[in-house]
């Protein structure tokens, strides 16, 4: 069974061409992709959740 890919905040910011502060602003306003917090405090986003979030943005446009 393959592990689901998890993206870092930096991965997402690079892909979208946004700053970390923009990502955290979206997260605070519940406008960003669904995240999980690791025990060390870092955030990760499952690739499938990220892809669904992006698809939802396209549907809303």
For residue 19, give the CATH number of its domain.
1.10.1660
Q: pLDDT of the chain along its 61 residues, tens only?
A: 457 899 999 999 999 999 999 999 999 999 999 999 999 999 999 999 999 999 999 877 6
Q: Give me the pLDDT at residue 52, please.
A: 95
State the chain's maximal CA–CA distance in angstroms. 36
Task: Indicate whether 32 belongs to any domain.
Answer: yes
Task: Indicate whether 1 belongs to any domain.
Answer: no
Domain of 42, in residue numbers: 6-60
Residue 45, Cβ neighbours under 10 Å: how many? 22
The model carries a pTM of 0.85
The torsion region of residue 30 among left (phi > 0), alpha (psi -120 to 50) and beta comes to left
Task: Indicate whether 17 belongs to any domain.
Answer: yes
Query: Can you tell me the distance from the alpha carbon of 59 to that of 22, in angstroms, rounded to the nearest whole number?
Result: 22
Q: How many domains does the chain have?
A: 1
Query: Can you tell me the distance from the alpha carbon of 51 to that of 55, in angstroms, rounded to the nearest whole number?
Result: 6
Task: Indicate whether 23 belongs to any domain.
Answer: yes
């Amino acid at each position: 069974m393959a592990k689901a890919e998890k993206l870092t905040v930096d991965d997402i910011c690079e892909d979208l061409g946004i700053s970390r502060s923009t990502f955290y602003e979206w997260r605070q306003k519940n406008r960003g992709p669904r995240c999980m917090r690791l025990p060390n405090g870092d955030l990760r986003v499952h690739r499938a959740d990220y892809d669904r979030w992006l698809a939802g943005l396209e549907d809303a446009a």
